[in-house]
Structure 1
Amino acid sequence: MDLNELGEYQTRSTITLAREDQLERDNKYDPFEHRNVTHPTSTVGAFFHLLKSSLGSGLLAMPAAFKHIGVIPGVIGTALVALIATHCVHILVSTSRALCEESRVASLSYAETCEKAFKHGPKRIKRFSTHIRHFADFAMAGVCLGGTSVYVIFIASSLKDICDHFYPSHVYSVKTYCGFLLIPLILTSQIRHLKFLVPFSLLANLCLLVTFLITCYYTFQDIPSVEPEKLAVGITQWPLFLSTAIFAMEGINVVMPVENEMANPKRFLGCPGVLNVTMVFVATLYGVVGLFGFLKYGDEAQGSVTLNLPQDEIPAMVAKILVAVAVFFTYCLQMYAPLDILWIRIHSYISGTYQNLGQIILRTLCVVLTVTLAIAVPDLELLIGLVGAIFFSTLGLLIPVVVQTAHCWDRNLGPYLVVVWKNTLLLLFYLLVLVSGCYASITEMVAKFS
């Protein structure tokens, strides 16, 4: 081959490669362009949806969380938990988007992302794709059922506090109030369509907002000086802080629906991005409420700071009533997801004649389960720690880490296997939260109830 032929060959090769690159770009699937959402959510709307998922009863539990760790470790720990929770959401959404491109689908749910990650992952784990989907679904159901058990205790504790004040001659235990709630909760859980729950959601949000404002009014008044023993607490109590903080801040169960329905999903990740802005705001709010609530009430801080409000003042009593109403109506909203997951799996085994009866029985049994768990652990603070350690850490930490590792294993693990090392540290953190949180919660339960 002479020099002229060599030059022509190189020119043709360059043109061919350029055409192949252009063809690859033209054939690259962009899931955002294929999303056909009937009523897309604006960027501001996505921010408020994500904010609502992270703000709730957990916010009122942060002063009790700080009680187990102290001021300085509490502030650092809140920032650390927020950072880890944000990162896990980030890797879940990033993996879901990559899988959408590979599978050429517009969007994937949380469970579908888990299944696709294993299907497109190493050969050894492909056969587990269906199992990981079921595991993700049941983890989601566990989060919702565990969270609603906390709600039962939350409502029962508030009702006891209110009734003990107005009817001091009729004092009942928290367990008794849990029993009183059984029938009303069964009735509200029979609502099967999400659109009928919208008024309850609006009422719950309004009640929570007013409760939060009244609580801040009391919390930020007459704050005592910082005592040395409040700066840090013995390390044996730290696991209860971690599991409570994870319970409070984890809203990963609504992340994929919010991202999938955005009008401009490219604004979800990145800097500033909806996710980062929301979590910075959430971490700041949780840190402020936890810090000043702990400085105000110290070791007396209860599982909900509203229980620390005075009983002889009208605004405080209004806050206690409103938070009970808000959590009561939030209960049926939180039960929607696990009931839907369970019904999808069992409805095919029930004949058409008994479909309605089957729905009623399933919903009743799930409510009975949550009330039974609340009666078994009638302590709001300890139940939050236990549920956070088991369910919320699994859904928010373990599954995103496993999904990203499975997807990147045969593709790109980064320089020096950075993905493997980083996810190993996250996995160790998950195990720390799971084991130590369960141990600390159960030990406290045994000591308290024995």
Structure 2
Amino acid sequence: MELDNYSTREKKDAEVGFIKKEKFDPFTERKVENPTTDGETLTHLLKASLGTGILSMGCAFRSSGLALGIISTILIGFISTYCAYILVKCAHILYHKCHKTQMSYADIAEAALAVGPKPFRKFAKLLRVIVDLGLFCIYYGACVACTVIVAKNFKQILDFHEIHYNNEFIPLSWIIVVLLIPIILLTLIQDLKYLAPVSTIANGLMFGGLTIIFIWLVTELFGKDLIHQKGFNWIGIDENKSLSLSWYSKYSETFAITIFAMAAIGVVMPLENKMKTPKNFLGPVGILSKGMIFVTIIYMIAGILAYLKDPIATTDVITLEMPMDGTFLTSFMAQAARILISLSVFSSYCLCLFVCLEIIWNLIKNNFTDNPKRANYILKLILAVASVMLAFFFPNVIAILGIIGAFFLSILGLLVPVIIETITYWEDDNHRVLRALKNIVIAIVALNALYFGALA
């Protein structure tokens, strides 16, 4: 990335763009083909944030107790959103410093160090590589995971209805191969703006699936003594000396599940870069704030209801608690929830692949100046087919992807944004002490997330 020379002596006001005594407004200068509206951006943000992690919130609450689970969800939601906020805020400052109208996460990481204090500049390229590698591993892994999760859910339904081929249950690998057809069709969508209807449909499917789950959970709560049922705790879990379980011993699962379920750090810059009005992304009532407040509330409700339904359940996801062999209504709800949520998760594939595509394309696009659109599509097709092949040959890859996600999401979702903010505001920072203390706290949370994620 080429950066314009930037001198602090020439800086008048980075926020309004007085650089080199020349007014520059990156938002009016930005030229985007098919920009997205605020509503479309919010739709994409919700789709990126409402994933399969919400189905594990019951497991998160069972590892912490009801009150501690609620508090943890709120605090972790706030910290995750705040780190995404400071990343975009620093991007808006660096747009002015570098005379850029758009930047990816990796661009921001490199630019912050490259135009920052001299001791940090030699690490600019290294930080860019870390961000690119981390984002690619997280979101390409998510593409593979989406394929496996959807295939497994549909296999459960097919097996329940005893659909056979040559007197045998249909293999999981066959279902994964069939999924390649809709995946290729989804890759035909080349622009985020045209992906908005897919995200809207996916959000509708997710809300439909969650509504069924919530209705089932609420009906299961009728007539129960919720507070006095076995295993209920406001804080922590039941201690068991024979198993060496203390009240806080499983809190690592709560921390890990919640922070990784709500992370959307990889999509905030692609979404902001495509906006018609990027300034509306931030602010108390901006796109980011509204979207993440809603997401936090939904995650919290899911955790509360799943916990109250059964505080000692051992299942990882709530859909597995919904019996398909019960009454007709219960069986129908269980199958409908699985289908709706599977289709919604499958739609997440597009956004995850878009992030991966942007990372690889930025590395190679200068080699395809003659026909960039065709080259871009071929690359997207290769990435899509390769992800299905990985799912086909390694259907149990999700456990490994979880460890990779825990490692990189801790670093990219929490630690790198505070590093970028510290360096971006290094010069002429009137709140250096407070900012340093705040960022140290977030860094400690990031290191705990890394440890708890690996532990869980």
- Shorter-chain TM band: 0.7 to 0.9
CA shift for structure 1 position 288: 0.8
Matches within 5 A, 1:19-58: 27-58=22-53
What are the within-5 Å matches in structure 2 for residues 140-159 of structure 1? 140-159=135-154
Deviation of 1:401 after TM superposition, in Å, equals 1.6
What are the within-5 Å matches in structure 2 for residues 225-236 of structure 1? 225-226=226-227, 227=229, 229-231=231-233, 232-233=236-237, 234-236=247-249
Partner of 1:80 in structure 2? 75
Query: 2:132 aligned to 137, 151, 171, which one?
Result: 137
Distance 1:269 1:344 in 2: 25
Structure 1: tracts of 5 or more residues without a match? 1-19, 441-450
Q: Which amino acid letter does the alignment assign opposite residue 217 of structure 2?
A: T
DSSP-derived class of the 2:310 partner: helix
Residue 118 of structure 2: which of 116, 120, 123 is its match?
123
Q: Deviation string for 1:96-155 (max 9, x for gaps)?
A: 111111112223222211111111112122233223222212211112123234324422
1:330 lines up with 2:351 in the alignment: no
Aligned to 1:16: none
**Conserved? CA contact 2:180–2:388, under 8 Å:** yes
Q: With the length of structure 2 as denominator, give the TM-score of the two structures.
A: 0.78
Residues 1:214 and 2:194 aligned together = no
Listed as ranges, the matches of 1:165-184 within 5 Å are 165-167=160-162, 177=172, 179-184=173-178
Cα distance in structure 2, aligned partners of 1:39 and 1:336:
16
Q: In 2 relative to 1, CA 31–304 (structure 1 residues): closer, same or farther, beyond 3 Å?
A: same
The structure with the largest helix share of the pair is: 1
2:61 is matched by which residue type in structure 1? F
**Counterpart for residue 447 of structure 1:** none
Aligned partner of 1:369: which letter?
L
Q: Report SS of the residue matched to 1:229.
A: coil
Matched, 1:255 2:274: no
Number of the residue aligned with 1:422: 438
Q: Which runs of 5+ in 2 are unaligned?
A: 1-11, 238-246
Q: Call closer, same or farther: CA 1:240–1:374 in 2, change over 3 Å.
A: farther
Seen in structure 2, the aligned counterparts of structure 1 residues 246 and 264 have a Cα distance that, compared at 3 Å, is: same
Q: Displacement, 1:259?
A: 2.6
1:439 equivalenced with 2:437 (yes/no): no
**TM-score, normalisation: structure 1:** 0.79
Question: Is 1:205 matched up with 2:218?
Answer: no
Residue aligned with 2:219, SS: coil
- The alpha carbon displacement at 1:341 in A equals 2.7
| CA spacing shift, 1:369–1:420, aligned 2, 3 Å | farther
> Which has the higher mean CA deviation after the structures are superposed, 311-320 or 35-44?
35-44
Asked whether the equivalents of residues 30 and 101 of structure 2 are also in contact (C-alpha less than 8 Å), the reply is: yes
Instruction: Provide the rounded CA distance (Å) in 1 between the counterparts of 2:295 and 2:169.
Output: 36
The structure with more radius of gyration: 1
Identity of aligned residues (%): 30
Give the direction of change, closer, same or farther, for the CA distance of 1:369–1:153 in structure 2 (3 Å limit).
closer
Cα distance in 1, alignment partners of residues 37 and 365 from structure 2 = 35
Matched with 1:59 is 54
TM superposition shift of 1:239: 1.7
2:421 to 395, 404, 427: 404
1:194 corresponds, among 173, 185, 190, to 190
